[in-house]
Amino acid sequence: MQPTKTGKSHYSESEAAEELGVSVEQLRLMIRSHVVDRDEDLSNIPATSFQPSDLLILRLLAGKTPVASS
């Protein structure tokens, strides 16, 4: 699945998962294993939203090749 060219500045958790081609639970697992040190740290994140740069990093962590911009 290739990311859409929407020009969005923020993505919800479900939108980010869709862009990455993973389930929301898989996205949460990636964040738990690569971003936060402890599960308790997740509660310190008031609202989960992602910027395009976040999706790029998560895509690399997921082992997926980023799609080059045209």
Residue 2 lies in a domain: no
**Does some domain include residue 27?**
yes
For 34-47, b where at least 16 C-beta lie within 10 A, e where not — what string? eeeeeeeeeeeeee
**Percentage of the chain with pLDDT > 90?**
17
Give me the number of domains the chain comprises.
1
Residue 55 lies in a domain: yes
pTM of the complete model: 0.67
Contact (Cβ atoms closer than 8 angstroms) between residue 69 and residue 38: no
Residue-wise pLDDT tens digits, 18-45: 999 999 888 888 887 777 766 666 666 6
Is pLDDT of 70 > 60?
Answer: no
Domain containing 34: what range?
11-61
pLDDT at position 1, please? Answer: 42
Is residue 11 scored above 90 in pLDDT?
A: yes
- The answer as to whether 56 is a domain residue is yes
